[in-house]
Amino acid sequence: MKRIFAVLFTVLLFLPSQAGVKAVDTQDPIESETLAGERVAHYTVERKVKTPTCNYNLTNRAVTLSMGPWRAYDSYLSPLLYKGGGLKWMDERLKMMTKNMDKLSRYYEMNTSFAAMSNPAETASMLYFTIEGVTGVHYHLRPIKNMNLLLGGLVNGEAGLRYSMVNQNNPASLVLDANLWASVMCYYHIRLRNKTLTLRDHFSTPFVGVMFSPNYKQTYYEIFSLHNYDGVYPVTTFGSRWQWRNKLSLDLPIKICTFRFGVLAERSVTEVNLLETRTMNVSAMLGLVYNFNTFKGTKAIPADYRNPVE
């Protein structure tokens, strides 16, 4: 009888300690010895705590340098086609609009071009310089496995100069325009054993815009000193401005970085105010690609990030 009471007393002591447990994930039997010398099996509770995952909105950035042959024609400066070589530096960034939206992304681009060309007889030379900013939005589609198709629109602003070494009265031609572009981007991921290659193509073309162009036989002195601005800012469409740009590249990851190899091709033709301009270049492209995250202003830096200045 004493043994029975000892067992009941031990069980009653154990039951209240388990009443506060709400979630039981696993139970493992463990034996314990009572005061009477008998062994009673009871269970321990093991809690599984889930670690919250962080959702960061990364920015994909590519910085490239292109080099290749250039051609330019500007009827305001010369009736001849100039040929030479040039460079183009580009900084491209792609980021999703919000952390919870996987269909819309924002695109940024800054580029600078410089080219030096000469006429067929090599008796005169022309320098070409432009700086351009581009931004826009794309909608993401995934038609097949490993492929992302981006459809959207862009807006750009461009400023630059064509300078002729031999002209005395009108040695320069101003490049100034803004356009709305249709844009198509395609990413295809080639998954190998220990790395992933990314094949990318980006084609864009403007469909409406505005540009600066002097009237036929009008000098810059008349425009800026005499303030004769009539007709110098014409609206352009497919009939007066035909332009396209295509960037085909392959992203190759190695141990320390990701290289981008590619080809850049551009073609532009404008016909406004009885003046014509043409530019074309096909360049080899080389650069680096990486992803990063930014914390701007009062946005708190997560605890698992290390700030090098704190």
Q: Which domains can be identified in the chain, with CATH numbers?
A: 59-292 (2.40.128.100)
For residue 245, the one-letter residue type is R
pLDDT band of 303, cuts 50, 70, 90: confident
Identify the pLDDT of residue 262: 98
Specify whether the CB–CB gap between 292 and 58 falls below 8 A.
yes
- What percentage of the chain reaches a pLDDT higher than 70? 82
Instruction: Identify the residue whose tokens are 């356009």.
Output: 179
- What average pLDDT does the chain have? 86
Lowest mean pLDDT among 41-55, 98-112, 122-136: 41-55
Q: Report, as an integer, the average pLDDT of 245-255.
A: 96
CA 37 to the chain's CA centroid: 74
Instruction: Identify the residue whose tokens are 């198509």.
Output: 184
The per-residue pLDDT for range 132-155, each reduced to its tens digit, is 999 999 999 999 999 999 999 999
Q: Report, as an integer, the average pLDDT of 95-102.
A: 82
The per-residue pLDDT for range 24-70, each reduced to its tens digit, is 444 455 554 544 455 555 554 455 545 445 567 889 999 999 999 99
How many angstroms separate the Cα of 41 from the Cα of each of 1, 32, 129, 266?
A: 21, 6, 85, 80
The per-residue pLDDT for range 173-220, each reduced to its tens digit, is 999 999 999 999 999 999 998 899 999 999 999 999 999 999 998 999
CA distance 125 to 84: 9
Strand 104-118 with 82-96, pairing: antiparallel
Specify whether the CB–CB gap between 44 and 32 falls below 8 A.
no
Identify the pLDDT of residue 301: 80
* SS3 readout for 192-244: CCCCEEEEEEEEEEEEEEEECCCCCCCCHHHHHCCCCCCCCCCEECCCCEEEE
Specify whether the CB–CB gap between 170 and 77 falls below 8 A.
yes
CA distance 68 to 263: 10
pLDDT band of 20, cuts 50, 70, 90: very low
> Cα-atom radius of gyration of the chain, to the nearest Å?
34
Q: Is the pLDDT of residue 2 over 90?
A: no
pTM above 0.95, yes or no: no
- Within 13 Å of residue 166, how many CA atoms lie on the same side as its CB? 11
Specify whether the CB–CB gap between 269 and 278 falls below 8 A.
yes
pLDDT band of 10, cuts 50, 70, 90: low
Identify the pLDDT of residue 17: 42
CA distance 140 to 103: 5
Looking at the DSSP bridge assignments, the partners of residue 140 are 150
More confident residue, 19 or 280: 280
CA distance 277 to 246: 20
Q: Is the pLDDT of residue 235 over 70?
A: yes
Identify the pLDDT of residue 102: 79
